[in-house]
Amino acid sequence: MDEGGRRQRKPTLLEAVVAVVVSFACIGIGVLALGVDVHIPIVIATSFVCLIGRFLLHISWKDIEEGIFRGIHIGLQAILILMIVGMIVGSWIQGGIVPTLIYYGLSILSPSIFLLATLLICSIVSLATGSSWGTSGTVGLALIGIAAGLGVSMPLAAGVVISGAYFGDKMSPLSDTTNLAPAVAGTTLFSHIRALVSTTMTTYIIVAIITIVLGFRFAGGTLDTSRIEAFQKLLAAEFDIGLLGFIPPLVVITLAALKFPAIPSMFAGVVLGGIMILLQGNGLGTMVTAIHYGYVPALSAEIAEAASPEAIASMLAAKGVTDVNPELARQVSEMLSSLLERGGLDSMMWTVSLILCALSFGGVMERCGFLEVLLEAILKHVKSVTGMVVSVMIGCFATNLLVGDQYTAIVLPGRMFKPAFDKMGLHPRMLSRTLEDSGTLTSVLIPWNTCGAYHASLFGIPTLEFAPFAFFNYINPIVAIILTAMGKFIFWRKDTDDDIITE
């Protein structure tokens, strides 16, 4: 009964479809037509669904509110982890950890294995930063410039950059989507990452072999190392680069492998990052500021904004760098400044607010019964685990296609299919893995999706031209389906309940 004494009812399939179509229209128009962030369109869609539930289905506001709270509850751990991730990124950049990983990553470049090296470098940087966009827009862009000098096809180079960037984004505990997927599915971060290993690493090996084979065509090319050396010298001028920078990531990875809880394991990374900041010669104030607001580029920003080549040469000479062309130094500094100016607790508030909006929407959709009705219609003929996985992947891809936002492509299908996965006895990390195998990876393959549009604008290459070479992004879903059909790497709820988050 609602507050007026009217009996609440279950929505019809037509009502459920209307609710979804109108919600998708609100979000799609906001993101694609108006070019605004997805938050307020989701709020508008949530309000629309609330009105249908309240006045058409006669669900009390108290019940709708409880649905919102239940939806948010499952994301609380992810929100805390994301806040810690922001602190990690800020401290790891200020402490020279991320610059160290980039510095040594660039050292593995070789003409004979350029494509493989590009894949590895972008993977390393994206793992370290948790950002596919940041990786593509900085190191990736530089590598595409190097590829042009080798005569490597630009769409091919862009596809390999994207493959590496999205591998790191998908596997990094610092990534927002890697935290969002387990939050929606109801499992823990490290359980989710362990589940990703089976499909992701299998795909990564396949992609690595493809890059090796394709790379044979360019083995005789001459590599222009000036840009790479400029990257490394400017990094070394702004930070103390050394092997100590590998310790914090190794500690966090080890704790994850030993199945320590995610929050204390990740916070250990913040502590170690803070220590590294002090070892870089910074004070306590700088350490606290970096953890809160992120790293503010120093030398690279000054060079990027310098008024003349002479001023740049003077800055470089003061740091002992005398053999880098001032104009090249400016170009590289602009890229470095863009890559490194990130992190901090405050930087995660955009994503945290998005998660709150998206989970509220999912909670209302679930409480009003729309997800249940849609799921019954979709899964009427799905009787196998493979069918379930394929259904989730289609749902994620369709959401990316219709809404143009990868976050919604994780949240909406995740909330829709969670009850079905639970009913079948599958572990929640099976759902979280599938959400990332499709929702995260297929977003960049769609021209009007925010991810596809960003990379097309960044590289100056139409999405449909580099999409065939983004091997990792479309092979991974295929591999996941094949492994599931073979009965491999299927996780059941009865295997372990330690890493299941109950609502």
Rg of the chain on CA atoms, in Å: 24
Distant-in-sequence contacts of 455-463, Cβ < 8 A, 24+ apart: 455/136, 455/158, 455/162, 458/136, 458/137, 458/141, 459/136, 459/141, 459/144, 459/154, 459/158, 461/154, 461/155, 461/158
302 with 315: CB under 8 angstroms?
A: yes
Burial 326-336 (b: 16+ CB within 10 A, else e): bebbbbbbbbb
Residue 460 has pLDDT above 80, yes or no: no
| Angstrom distance (rounded) from CA 141 to CA 297 | 19
pLDDT digits 0-9 by tens, 164-185: 999 988 898 878 788 889 988 8
Q: What is the mean pLDDT of residues 201-207?
A: 96
Residue 461 has pLDDT above 90, yes or no: no
Residue 109 has pLDDT above 70, yes or no: no
The predicted pLDDT at position 285 comes to 95
Contacts of 494 (CB under 8 A, 6+ apart): 425
Instruction: Give the closest residue to 463 by CA, choosing from 475, 452, 451.
Output: 452
pLDDT digits 0-9 by tens, 327-382: 889 988 887 887 678 778 998 787 788 778 877 887 888 788 887 788 778 777 78
The predicted pLDDT at position 83 comes to 84
The predicted pLDDT at position 478 comes to 96
Residue 502 has pLDDT above 60, yes or no: no
| Angstrom distance (rounded) from CA 215 to CA 359 | 44
The predicted pLDDT at position 498 comes to 55
Residue 218 has pLDDT above 80, yes or no: no
The predicted pLDDT at position 411 comes to 82
Residue 404 has pLDDT above 50, yes or no: yes
The predicted pLDDT at position 381 comes to 77
Low-confidence winner among 53-67, 98-112, 113-127, 421-435 (lowest mean pLDDT): 98-112
The predicted pLDDT at position 503 comes to 42
Angle, CA of 157, 438 and 167, to the nearest 5°: 40
- DSSP secondary structure code for residue 187 in this structure: B
Residue 55 has pLDDT above 80, yes or no: yes
pLDDT digits 0-9 by tens, 288-315: 999 999 999 888 889 988 888 889 989 9
Q: What is the mean pLDDT of residues 34-47?
A: 87
- Residue with the larger pLDDT of the pair 237 and 82: 237
The predicted pLDDT at position 51 comes to 93
- Residue with the larger pLDDT of the pair 418 and 479: 479
Structure-block tokens of residue 51: 């009105």
Structure-block tokens of residue 432: 């979280």
Instruction: Give the closest residue to 70 by CA, choosing from 371, 350, 347.
Output: 371
The predicted pLDDT at position 220 comes to 60
The beta strand positions in 6-129, using DSSP E, are none
294 with 346: CB under 8 angstroms?
A: yes
Tell me what the pLDDT averaged over the chain comes to. 84
88 with 174: CB under 8 angstroms?
A: yes
Confidence of residue 110 (pLDDT cuts 50, 70, 90): low
| Angstrom distance (rounded) from CA 282 to CA 382 | 59
Residue 71 has pLDDT above 90, yes or no: no
Q: What is the mean pLDDT of residues 255-265?
A: 75
Strand partners, 500: 187
The predicted pLDDT at position 138 comes to 63
Confidence of residue 209 (pLDDT cuts 50, 70, 90): very high
pLDDT digits 0-9 by tens, 141-156: 667 756 755 667 889 9
| DSSP per-residue letters across 341-374 | S--SGGGGHHHHHHHHHHHHHHHHHHHTTHHHHH
- DSSP secondary structure code for residue 54 in this structure: I
Confidence of residue 162 (pLDDT cuts 50, 70, 90): very high
Structure-block tokens of residue 15: 């009502």
Confidence of residue 500 (pLDDT cuts 50, 70, 90): low
Other CB atoms within 10 Å distance of the CB of residue 213: 11
% of the chain beyond a pLDDT of 70: 90
The predicted pLDDT at position 429 comes to 93
Burial 244-279 (b: 16+ CB within 10 A, else e): bbeebbeebeebbeeeeebeebbbbbbebbbbbbee
Angle, CA of 194, 435 and 25, to the nearest 5°: 160
| Angstrom distance (rounded) from CA 59 to CA 64 | 7
| Angstrom distance (rounded) from CA 232 to CA 321 | 11
Q: What is the mean pLDDT of residues 414-441?
A: 90
- DSSP secondary structure code for residue 217 in this structure: G
